[in-house]
Structure 1
Amino acid sequence: MKHEFPEFHQARVAVIGDLMLDRFYFGKASRISPEAPVPVVNVDRLEDVPGGAGNVAMNIASLGATCNLTGVSGLDEAATVLKQRLHSVGVNCLFHQSRDAGTIIKSRIVSNHQQLLRMDFEERFKPELATEMQSLAEQVTNNAKVMVLSDYNKGTLSEPQFWIDTAKQKDIQVLVDPKGSDFTRYRGADLITPNMTEFEAVAGKIESEGDLISKAQTLIKQLDIKAILITRSEHGMTLIRADQPEFHLPAIAKEVADVTGAGDTVISTLASALAAGQDLEYAVTLANVAASIVVSKLGTSTVSGPELKTEYERHQGLNNTDHSFCGAVTIEQLKIAVEQAKQRGEKVVFTNGCFDILHAGHVSYLQQARAQGDRLIVAINTDESVTKLKGEGRPINTAERRLTVLAGLADVDWVTCFQGDTPEDLLRYIQPDILVKGGDYDKKGVVGWEIVEGYGGEVKVMGLVENCSTTAIVNKIHQGR
């Protein structure tokens, strides 16, 4: 199904959660203190940005949506700065301010793009402050389509059930960024977004993809919620819903500068897309793209609507389709993807190799391979296997980098890394329809041919571009030194 990019300006989102001020001191550290063995930072710039629930609100506003924000703060300079920053991007601030509490401040000292020290100024808010804040419920939920509970375990959401019940009475969807090991506090929410560590703290150690799905389904029933979106760092994110197939999105390969606030970006994009009338799977797809953008930035960052649209269209253009399960995947994720593709009647093609330095021969060969079916899998050797096959000094590029490059090719649907020197175990496990290799030999020279033909698959040998090989390229580089 083809989707139109959301009209974010039509979206209205309510955010309730822990307010924080992220304060950054930037400067050069060129000497060690004579008083102690610590660097001396000559601060030349101070930057204040909203953090916690404030960062969620900033992301929502940056996308172009309307946001009402409430949380507990002090009656102090930090709260004033927070309001100024939030008002500047159009966030409607409805703070519950107290003279007896201080606004949470997280100060960081940064030099040469490295964080040297973080200082936290905070005390957990008393439960009565969270209760008093409930008087703002009518104002903060006015015309909202989606509510976000941004819980950082600082006391603002000591009674999340009040907010969930309020939302239900108004037919407002509730998304929760949870904290702690007691998710029963969020019973009845529409969606919770734990990361893998948070999920395992509640559900137990995850042993496999099947175990992940099973435990998530159990939690959905126990909590009477509709869905769980688990963010999994380099393994992307997985959406699990009651009685529906899991929906997995591999991480979009990017150079990671800072993961600060990535979870806030995910839930804010989800909320904004849903409030703009989009379905959940498309909202999750957009959130995955937004997360890839924000981790490439330093510090607590936001993603704008045009920025997201550009990156989304670029990413979709690389894959040429509107499907979601593509890119670098684990073996178990690949198994699920292949099964789903076959259920749709698609023919799955498989090839493998080292793919150390991608060249014109590789690109031509992969185009030929993809033309044999509907989906193309590229399985690469581990670094240890490449060294064993090609000798010391190889691979030139690590497995992670090779996966990234191959995942960016238009003809490649899924790329994975297999253990061992041959892909025979992987072929038995996923059973692709067609096994393709390049060379000038017959099919019986292809490793795994008997496995594939044994279950009824096909084996094909493609031609290679002459005078084009990784080894020749490496040798030419060495000769030019």
Structure 2
Amino acid sequence: MPVLRAVEERVEHALGAAGNVAASLAALGAQVALAAVVGADDAGRRIAELAGAARLDVDSLVTDPDRRTGVFSRIVLHGATGAGHHQIRVDREVGAAPSAAVRASLEQAVDARLDGADAVVLADYDETARRLGVLAPDLAGALVERARRRGIPVVATSRRHPEQFAGAEHLFVNREEARRLGLPAEQGAGALARRLAAEGRHGLVTITLGGEGAVTGTADGVHEIPALPVRVVDPCGAGDALLAATTLARLAGADPDEATRLGVHAAALAVGFVGTRPVTAPELVNLVRFGGAGAGKLHDPESLGRILDGLRGSHRIVFTNGFFDLFHSGHVELLRQARALGDLLVVALNSDRSTRENKGEGRPVLGERERVEIISSLEFVDYVTVFDELTPINVIRRLRPHLIVKGGSYRPEEVVGKDLVESRGGRVVVIPYAGRVTTEKLIRSIKAASDGTRPE
């Protein structure tokens, strides 16, 4: 019999299923009221606490004293880079469908919130064959109809029963869920999405395709958006992130292509976290700012700090920073040696503005997007962040690395952040360039070549 031996154990609780959809919308800046049925048990109370912490309005939560709150547990093993490997999933199902009275209470709670709503999102994550979830066909149909009468767009997603959401303006399903709608198996995802929209069941249909990206179909055409090349730590929650970003983009006026593309960017961020952790607006803005460069590795300092907070106890975090302008072999060797000193290597890049303020006009030669893409492509770099200040002191303060590594002729006492890292028991390591090429030498050589002179 296989035995899992827990040497280091950490238990985390997070909103799952529809709760994660709501939290994902809120993390991107939406005001969200969560309407759901929970049991009068510890798990139900924890959902209310987690939802409140996620800035969700929980006044529409309905408590059913006869119902057990569903709990989905995953045992995850962490690798050396922090990637999570799911070993076992244990589902504690709700046991029985909610009563007619409880469903009526939920319907009333939703109805009371419709006035003033910009959209209604119906998330049906019932995976049971017995249909134990709250959104039974009659309730799903009634909610769609009530919202449509008020001119409120309905967004829906369903694991097993997408057919019961006919009339929703935007349906989100994966490829397998789309097949449950009875469409020909030989049709591609784009054809499926367009056919569903053309038949009038929905205005838009988005089919998520995992590592291939997503496709949104309308009656007029198909918008196929490829996935960003990322390192997948954990795919859980990627679909929720895509739904949230795409939905909010559409409400803000984006066309289907733009909205789906933003959703794919959000999904690329979501797979970089262990478990279901909503993507925040600053994270998404940061990724879009760099045109998708560094997806999976690039994070703003605050978001990266939260990631490292969960890894610091089991991983030795190495930090280095620099301009990395005109990237060359000396940079490669520095980063390779830095990574060998710990378990995770974080590289903080001076932004274009920071580089210009430090180095003067004409620098950087390579823009921040190009530098992010180059650094992120290295297999021995785990995370990248970009800062606008003159020095990385605030980044170091937030990330709290175990080691700071610098290359060149620095003396340890000259390294920014030395006191901070040493006050926590860490240390500074200086790796000499040992005569290797430098950016300044490269620039002088290029200028000399363009002038027709011999470089010094």
Residues 79-119 of structure 1: per-residue CA shift (max 9 Å, x gap): 11111111112100121111100111112223333333222
Native 8 Å contact 1:203 1:219 kept in 2: no
The 3 A distance-change label for structure 1 pair 234 and 206 is farther
Q: Of residues 44, 63, 75 in structure 1, which corresponds to 2:28?
A: 63
Alignment pair present for 1:126 and 2:98: yes
Alpha-carbon distance in 2 for matches of 1:224, 1:39: 47
Shift of 1:42: 4.3
Alignment pair present for 1:185 and 2:151: no
- 1:40 aligned counterpart, secondary structure: coil
Residues 165-205 of structure 1: per-residue CA shift (max 9 Å, x gap): 1211221111111232x543111110111111111232445
- 1:239 aligned counterpart, secondary structure: strand
Alpha-carbon distance in 2 for matches of 1:274, 1:214: 22
Shift of 1:138: 2.9
- Per the alignment, residue 393 of structure 1 pairs with none
- Per the alignment, residue 101 of structure 1 pairs with 67
Alpha-carbon distance in 2 for matches of 1:165, 1:101: 27
Alignment pair present for 1:234 and 2:234: no
1:269-418 map, 5 Å: 269-315=245-291
What's the C-alpha RMSD, in Å, of the aligned pairs? 2.6
Alpha-carbon distance in 1 for matches of 2:175, 2:22: 24
- Per the alignment, residue 197 of structure 1 pairs with 176
Native 8 Å contact 1:68 1:141 kept in 2: no
Q: Which letter maps to 2:113?
A: V
- Per the alignment, residue 84 of structure 1 pairs with 49
- 2:265 aligned counterpart, secondary structure: helix
Alignment pair present for 1:147 and 2:120: yes
- Per the alignment, residue 194 of structure 2 pairs with 217
Residues 210-255 of structure 1: per-residue CA shift (max 9 Å, x gap): xx4444333334453111111112221111101x121110111101
1:439-458 map, 5 Å: none
4+ residue segments displaced more than 3 Å: 203-209, 212-218, 275-280
Q: Which letter maps to 2:204?
A: A
Alignment pair present for 1:117 and 2:88: yes
- Per the alignment, residue 44 of structure 1 pairs with 9
Native 8 Å contact 2:85 2:234 kept in 1: no
The 3 A distance-change label for structure 1 pair 124 and 240 is farther
Native 8 Å contact 2:76 2:88 kept in 1: yes
The 3 A distance-change label for structure 1 pair 316 and 49 is closer
- Per the alignment, residue 81 of structure 2 pairs with none
Native 8 Å contact 1:53 1:150 kept in 2: yes
Alpha-carbon distance in 2 for matches of 1:177, 1:65: 18
Unaligned segments of structure 1, at least 5 residues: 1-35, 319-358, 361-404, 410-481
The 3 A distance-change label for structure 1 pair 213 and 114 is closer
Alpha-carbon distance in 2 for matches of 1:183, 1:138: 22
The 3 A distance-change label for structure 1 pair 229 and 37 is closer
With the length of structure 1 as denominator, give the TM-score of the two structures: 0.55
Alpha-carbon distance in 2 for matches of 1:169, 1:178: 22
Residues 432-479 of structure 1: per-residue CA shift (max 9 Å, x gap): xxxxxxxxxxxxxxxxxxxxxxxxxxxxxxxxxxxxxxxxxxxxxxxx
Alignment pair present for 1:266 and 2:260: no
- Per the alignment, residue 430 of structure 1 pairs with none
- 1:107 aligned counterpart, secondary structure: strand
Native 8 Å contact 2:141 2:164 kept in 1: yes
- 1:271 aligned counterpart, secondary structure: helix
Fraction of identical pairs, as percent: 25
- 2:151 aligned counterpart, secondary structure: coil
Native 8 Å contact 2:223 2:256 kept in 1: no
Unaligned segments of structure 2, at least 5 residues: 79-83, 127-131, 295-326, 329-369, 375-456
